[in-house]
Structure 1
Amino acid sequence: MTSTDLHDGWTLRLERGEAPATIAGRDVPATVPGTVHTDLLDADLIDDPYLDANETSLRWAWDVDWRYRRSLTLEPAAPDERVDLVCEGLDTVAALDLGDRRLGSTANMHRSYRFDLRPEADGVARDLTVTFASATRYAEELSDRIGARPGANSATTAPFPFVRKMACSFGWDWGPDLRTAGIWRPVRLHRWRVARLAEVRPLVDLRPDGTGTAEVHVRVERSGLGTAGPLHLAAAVAGVEVTATLAAGAESAVLTLEVPDVAPWWPVGYGAPSLHAFSLTLSDGDGDAAELDRVDRRLGFRRVELDTSADEHGSGFVLAVNGRPVLVKGANWIPDDHLLTRLTRERVARRQDQALAANVNLLRVWGGGVYESRDFYESADERGLLVWQDFLLACGAYAEDDPIRSEIAAEARENIARLSPHPSLVIWNGGNENLWGHEDWGWKEKLGGLTWGEHYARVLLPALVAELDPTRPYSDNSPSTPHRAPEQIHPNDPDHGTHHQWEVWNRVDYRAYRADVPRFCSEFGFQGPPTSRTIADHVHAADGGPLADAPDPRNDPVWLVHQKAQDGNGKLDRGMAPHLGVPTDWEDWLWAGALNQARALRHAIDHYRSWWPRTAGAILWQLNDCWPVTSWSLIDSLERPKPAWYAVRRSFAPRLLTFVERDGALAVALAGDSDSVWRTELALRRESLAGDVVASATVGVEVAPRSVTVVPVPADVAALTDTSREVVTASADGLVEVHAAVEDVDLALDPAALSASVTATDDGYEVHLRAASLVRDVTLLADRVLRDAVVDDALLTLPAGATATLRVRTSESIDPEDLLRRDVLRSANDLRRPLP
């Protein structure tokens, strides 16, 4: 058996449609895996679509066809040998030809294809061509034939539900509309004889007695060339080996391995994510013959359960691993680059490490993207990072007619089998906001009885999971209610199952997060701009100059290309107004937008955590960006954390101290997410902004492992007499929180209260801070002066007299005083004054 990559020697050429004169009629060197856009970029034939307004100049690419071509010579095959062309990913509507023979056609980006090339295995050179038709044209034609379906009002009007292509390739409210095409995953020549391992699907469990089990489902494909005799299988993991024989003509078998006292796989924060080498070999006859095929990977032994039982509050949604309920501290994951083929294992690992550093323990792979690469899931396995996997149906009505129905079934089968060996994968989800959309977004009237995808969510996908991966739970949709909930329960009811909170951001102030106590909030979020350096490098004003020098940067047409949300800047302004005011200065506005995003997320997460286990998890929208854009992300597309990342790190920390309201009175919640008891003294003070103590109390607190303790604030401490000049502070074990009865716009913060100095260190700088009176949310926007700056903390609130040090790591050198500039060292206090 040999497997040879066919990644060299490709050229790309426009096949049909209108393109710029510099592209039409030209052969362009093609990189495989790759896309048309990346090849044209490499050849300097298009401008960077992420820069300025270049995205809008590539509209022509939606409607054209492309042809990839290379020469292929196949040496003659042995009598019992197969010669296959294996395409792991084609984006999307493609026809494949070898010489004058049509090998086949495809219309699904999310599955692989295999073509028999034996007729051409004769030593003659032929052209292998892959012709990609416009996915837009294909989708529009199918929509016209089977009937148009509605989509999300806030996403896109493009016909993405009619082609099995990454939905956000058609644009989203955080992403560009590029509609890529190309050979986006590896393509290879596979020569094999007798039989091959077509599918190896280990179903892994951990029994209560500590025994790990792996039920290995094997499907083989025989060459069909006079080789239908018996086959030998041997499986091994963690020192345990089993064998099996497939009788002549048989094509499937199940091998069961049991490993007593196995080291289990645990999610981060609960134990080590132990992985064990697993192998499966296939050989001819009784096992003494040469090996025909082999699979090597790593398995993690663990058990996953989902408790959706009813209680006095509704229907829960509690994820448990190895019998232990897990507080889900999650983030939604979108493709980390819109041009997917530029992603590397190293970049994915960096992003997952940033998630873990923010105390995130679960990533939800959102249903408008792709089934991620093996790199993504192996990296998560190694880190103990949980993965929630959506099936790829998002924010639209999906017809249940063929060819869509059969394509969805085929891609689901393949990806369930492909991903099921990964211990990090803990739940399958039937799609994003489809059930909710049908109820609330006016679909029923528009559909007029047409199918819209309910069958996928409630019948097809759960049946496939039950058949192929019964070790994991399945949820119909996000949001959705458990099946056992009464049918009349709305799919987005916060008291049942999963909930999306998008009234905040779209219509109401972020204080409304605390109006509900959802059982599990799988989407919520608030926008903020990317970091200043990312803006400066990628977004210039319409006149070509710096955006900061434009007469009205917020309404500059180039800036608006990088703000995809409907009325996004208006919502940012309305979100800031009651809390920070709406600055007129551009740099102040950017800082206020970033700060308000951070505060909104903390307001939500602290509330959700304070209600554990009634609220069993929160998955914020979103971890990452796919291009430079104002969005809901914690990390921008240049891998720079926003202030919101630091806010989430604090709110998802193993120990959380936060002010809450219980029974109409002020209280402090202490939340512990570890296996140890948290014993502490909680110091409560009512004090002036200048630090004068009016009333105080100290309370001994014991927080049991993985639990929350709520402590009422004594009435004399909580009773602020001058709300503009007094606050309540709470401190315990180095954690400090400040409660004000009014927002910053009505709080008499001193804009000159912070003093600072800076010293150089071996790997950067230290900025030393001191507060003369209360200073809120001190943040060092070091990327403004240091391109590679990494700051250890942000959003520090310093009561009067407090000191702190911010550490900056960088490879660059500057005048240290630049770190003390007013546009670099920021706080909520200085939003009360204009920058010079």
Structure 2
Amino acid sequence: MKDVTQLTDGWCLRHGEDVLEARVPGCVHTDLLAAQAIPDPYLGRNEADVAWVGRRAWTYVRHLDHDSAHERTDLVFEGLDTAASLTLAGRPLGTTRNMHRTYRFDVTGRTGELQVRFASAYDEAAAVRAVTGERPNVYPEPSQYIRKMACNFGWDWGPTLVTAGIWRPVRLEHWSTARLAEVRPLVTVADGTGRVEVRLRVERTARGSGRTLRARAEVAGVRTEAELSGDEAVLRLNVPAPSLWWPRGYGDQPLYDLDITLDDDTGPLDTWRRRIGFRTIGIDRSADEHGTAFTLIVNGVRVFARGVNWIPDDAFPARVTPQRYRTRLSQAAEANVDLVRVWGGGIYEDHAFYDACDELGLMVWQDFLFACSAYPEEKPLRGEVEAEARDNVVRLMPHPSLVLWNGNNENLWGFRDWDWEAPLDGDSWGEGYYLGLLPRIVAELDPTRPYTAGSPWSGSWDHHPNDPAHGTHHSWEVWNRQDYAEYRASVPRFVAEFGWQAPPALATLRRALPGEDLAPDSPGMLHHQKAEDGNGKLNRGVARHLPLPEDDFDRWHYLTQLVQARAVAEGIEHWRSHWPVCAGTIVWQLNDCWPVASWSAIDGDGRPKPLHHELRRVYADRLLTLRPEAGGLVLAVINQAATPWRTSVVLRRMGADGTTTGEAVVEVAAEPRSVARFAVPTALTPDERSAKEFLVADAWESHRSPGDEGPGDLRALHFPVPDKEFGYPRPVYDVIVEPVPGQGDRVDVVVSARTLVRDLLLQPDRLDPAAACDSGRQTLLPGERTRIRVSGCGPVTADAVKAALFCVDVV
């Protein structure tokens, strides 16, 4: 039976005469940090002070000694970042030039000093560029010339920290006769039967050549076996009536152990185990009267995808533990997300990421790793791209959460719109990968899943790549140039990227910028704002609706976080109300890789922004929204649940002073997975330029009813004019703090409104850096009361809570 020895300990890092203890998996930066040889690049402006690290060569060293009775010993690296030459006892072992591949070296009978010498990624990229010639890039860094995590070279939300190192586990595998070299389970469901077709390939030793082997497979109590006279075999298992894997909100996520055993007449030689799930996945890309659809279909059910984009959770990915994956993805699930897109400028994530998605019911849209650049298709990159794609398709395909392979991020769009064609002058730029190589690999290795050439992509060159009427669309004109109300101007078939920026939590800023007098344009704040004209766009976004504060950082911080939540909600509510024409939204972005002003819902220290709470509301199965349309105001009743929704909606036309000037109860019904639309009666619709009236729609899911102390379980609001033009009264509210019995670290904050209180928001980290609360922004009418549960803060006073509470105040 194969033996495995993990090589975690005993490594050191050399640079010149300096020798440091090295941690594997890890990277040069984390080793230097552990040795206190560099400052933390996440703090202040230290990022610039450590730039030299990425421009130097580094060597990892370990003594390799092994004694095994097996015929063969392999040294296996699951990840080397990136351009490395390896020697053992002074003799060459091999070279690498791809961060995203697994490497295997035969070290049978060889011992001695193992050296892994990493060249600077900049030097490697320069060498490749000298062969291929120049290619356009959105950023002034050479990420397209090296198969490495592109955002290591900086992005509009990320630092420039160019890493090197043994970033994934390394091990010795001792084996005899044969081993399982590749296992590809093709899992489908047909006529109620789960079908598993296991395609496997073995590698043999010289002694094992020609020997008859047996491969056995078992899943859900069903077994089969086959003899191998060659190096490949196919095993087929039929599982009667398996429980189906569903996205969260649609059903359960049953997982089955699939076990593969390779043996001969001496006994077991190798084993392989993964968890699989039975489900079908497809995409409706048919033409219709609206253009070209892009609708996910899971187990025959058409799904409106409630998604978020995922970036690497740390600029140093080896620091992301399975528990950290679980925490971050649980935060996505708590926000009613059901799809996570792994963006193409990062990495193919660890199995722990996909395991968590399998269990949480989070569908995974997986980009191949190409982003915002023209990529050469010549050698040496072409061979690396093919090997990388084959490696990762096989590695990830057992996971039922994986529902889509995507060729690239924005490169097809970039070719058409970003002035690439003239400088390319006929040179390759990646099209051959996205429309040729990658779809062939997916069709060959993983035909059970759909492939799309890019995001955005209209399906063919017959339409503009980012045409909202065809396929997937990225909506960035709004953030870059327009008011968020402009989301209402179109109904894309599938919005794969859109978003709005905001700063991180105050506690995150204080940790990241120690001792700084915080201001929107203070030195550290500007360094942790990587977007082009980021603060200008933040300020214009606020100023279109609310007075932009001067010399009041706390209020600026609140307003920018508020506008982020409002902007994303505006887009999602509009697009969800147009289901099934629009079939999904993927917010940019869920997470951050360091403390930064960005589009994230969870900041770099893991703290939820108000956007996270807003996603939980707008991605809920049931949602009310008031939509101003050409024919008048519309109440959209969105029901993504599996059961019909019949409820009473109370519509109230109200004055700014809290008086009710009109009221009606509308009985509404929405069938499962549908949207019902109702015209708001003219008598209840405020004048489109009214600065004194607004409309409230409330529905009660629980036993509460109109007249109770708080707002409806579901509430929608329509204000005809921007806040700065509306006649708000000065907000007045009372605050009391109630301890939660038996839970000393939790309190209830009870806020009672005496006036209209718009977008009340508690920032819990102002009470304690560890504190969190259970709700985001809320609007209270006069006489209403809300209860906010705060955890992790311990006893606090009402005055402290008041200092952490904000609301719209334009008087």
TM-score, normalized by the shorter chain, greater than 0.5: yes
Verify the 8 A CA contact 1:758 1:817 in the aligned structure 2.
Answer: no
* Partner of residue 674, structure 1: 641
Please state if 1:546 is matched with 2:512. Answer: no
Calculate percent identity across the aligned residue pairs: 48
* Partner of residue 705, structure 2: none
* Partner of residue 163, structure 2: 180
Shift of 1:721: 8.3
* Partner of residue 736, structure 1: 715
* Partner of residue 216, structure 1: 198
Please state if 1:38 is matched with 2:38. Answer: no
Shift of 1:502: 0.5
| Secondary structure of 1:432's aligned partner | coil
* Partner of residue 555, structure 1: 521
Please state if 1:158 is matched with 2:135. Answer: no
Shift of 1:767: 1.0
Please state if 1:573 is matched with 2:544. Answer: no
| Secondary structure of 2:589's aligned partner | coil
Verify the 8 A CA contact 1:386 1:426 in the aligned structure 2.
Answer: yes
* Partner of residue 222, structure 2: 240
* Partner of residue 270, structure 1: 250
Verify the 8 A CA contact 2:731 2:757 in the aligned structure 1.
Answer: no
* Partner of residue 108, structure 2: 118
Change (3 A) 1:718 1:360: same
Shift of 1:284: 1.2
* Partner of residue 117, structure 2: 131
| Secondary structure of 2:112's aligned partner | strand
- 1:492 and 1:415 map into 2 onto residues whose CA distance is 27
Correspondence for 2:442 among 452, 465, 488: 465
Please state if 1:62 is matched with 2:54. Answer: yes
| Secondary structure of 1:554's aligned partner | coil
Paired amino acid for 2:605 = L
- 2:9 and 2:118 map into 1 onto residues whose CA distance is 19
Paired amino acid for 2:418 = W
* Partner of residue 351, structure 2: 374
Verify the 8 A CA contact 2:737 2:796 in the aligned structure 1.
Answer: no
- 1:638 and 1:740 map into 2 onto residues whose CA distance is 35
Matches within 5 A, 1:517-666: 517-540=491-514, 545-548=515-518, 553-584=519-550, 585-666=552-633
| Secondary structure of 2:538's aligned partner | helix
Verify the 8 A CA contact 1:765 1:816 in the aligned structure 2.
Answer: no
- 1:674 and 1:160 map into 2 onto residues whose CA distance is 43
Shift of 1:753: 2.4
Please state if 1:488 is matched with 2:462. Answer: yes
Shift of 1:648: 1.2
| Secondary structure of 1:488's aligned partner | coil
1:292-327 superposed Cα distances (whole Å, 9 cap, x missing partner): 000112110000011000000000000011111111
Correspondence for 2:473 among 471, 476, 499: 499
1:404-458 superposed Cα distances (whole Å, 9 cap, x missing partner): 1110100000100011100000000001000000000000011111100000110
Verify the 8 A CA contact 2:304 2:584 in the aligned structure 1.
Answer: yes
| Secondary structure of 1:27's aligned partner | strand
Shift of 1:61: 1.3
Aligned residues: 794
- Structure 1 stretch 763-772 or stretch 87-96: which is displaced more? 763-772
Shift of 1:165: 0.2
Please state if 1:82 is matched with 2:72. Answer: yes
* Partner of residue 101, structure 1: 91
Shift of 1:76: 5.9
Please state if 1:327 is matched with 2:313. Answer: no
Q: What root-mean-square deviation, in Å, do the aligned CA atoms of Structure 1 and Structure 2 show?
A: 1.3
- Structure 1 stretch 721-730 or stretch 571-580: which is displaced more? 721-730
| Secondary structure of 1:680's aligned partner | strand
Matches within 5 A, 1:254-403: 254-285=234-265, 289-403=266-380
Paired amino acid for 1:743 = P
1:536-572 superposed Cα distances (whole Å, 9 cap, x missing partner): 11114xxxx3333xxxx22222211100001100111
Verify the 8 A CA contact 1:690 1:772 in the aligned structure 2.
Answer: no
Shift of 1:722: 7.4
* Partner of residue 488, structure 2: 514
Change (3 A) 1:816 1:228: farther
Change (3 A) 1:772 1:451: same
Paired amino acid for 1:465 = V
- 1:680 and 1:381 map into 2 onto residues whose CA distance is 34
Shift of 1:783: 0.3
Shift of 1:77: 5.0
- 1:226 and 1:688 map into 2 onto residues whose CA distance is 85
Paired amino acid for 1:37 = H
* Partner of residue 456, structure 1: 433
| Secondary structure of 1:547's aligned partner | coil
Verify the 8 A CA contact 1:689 1:800 in the aligned structure 2.
Answer: no
- 2:95 and 2:251 map into 1 onto residues whose CA distance is 47
Please state if 1:252 is matched with 2:225. Answer: no
Shift of 1:692: 1.1
Paired amino acid for 1:270 = Y
| Secondary structure of 1:752's aligned partner | coil
Please state if 1:3 is matched with 2:29. Answer: no
Task: Specify every segment of 5 or more residues in structure 1 that has no aligned partner in the other structure, as ranges.
Answer: 16-24
Change (3 A) 1:736 1:194: same
Verify the 8 A CA contact 2:516 2:524 in the aligned structure 1.
Answer: no
* Partner of residue 435, structure 1: 412
1:712-751 superposed Cα distances (whole Å, 9 cap, x missing partner): 1100110338722211111112212221101111112223
| Secondary structure of 1:336's aligned partner | coil
Verify the 8 A CA contact 1:202 1:214 in the aligned structure 2.
Answer: yes
- 1:377 and 1:55 map into 2 onto residues whose CA distance is 31
State TM-score, norm by structure 2: 0.96
- 2:686 and 2:3 map into 1 onto residues whose CA distance is 77
* Partner of residue 702, structure 1: 669
Paired amino acid for 2:256 = H
Paired amino acid for 2:458 = T
Paired amino acid for 1:275 = L
Verify the 8 A CA contact 2:648 2:665 in the aligned structure 1.
Answer: yes
Task: Specify every segment of 5 or more residues in structure 2 that has no aligned partner in the other structure, as ranges.
Answer: 701-712
Paired amino acid for 1:567 = D
* Partner of residue 807, structure 2: 827
- 2:180 and 2:468 map into 1 onto residues whose CA distance is 45
State TM-score, norm by structure 1: 0.94
Paired amino acid for 2:651 = L
- 2:208 and 2:189 map into 1 onto residues whose CA distance is 42
- 1:620 and 1:218 map into 2 onto residues whose CA distance is 38
Shift of 1:691: 2.0
1:200-252 superposed Cα distances (whole Å, 9 cap, x missing partner): 11010111x211111111011111235421100000000100000001xx111
Shift of 1:811: 5.3
* Partner of residue 21, structure 1: none
Please state if 1:29 is matched with 2:29. Answer: no
Shift of 1:760: 2.0
- 2:65 and 2:329 map into 1 onto residues whose CA distance is 42
Please state if 1:92 is matched with 2:82. Answer: yes
Verify the 8 A CA contact 1:791 1:807 in the aligned structure 2.
Answer: yes
- 2:179 and 2:798 map into 1 onto residues whose CA distance is 63
Shift of 1:816: 4.5
| Secondary structure of 2:561's aligned partner | helix
Verify the 8 A CA contact 2:689 2:721 in the aligned structure 1.
Answer: no
Verify the 8 A CA contact 1:777 1:797 in the aligned structure 2.
Answer: yes
Paired amino acid for 1:290 = G
- 2:527 and 2:207 map into 1 onto residues whose CA distance is 58
- 2:330 and 2:477 map into 1 onto residues whose CA distance is 31
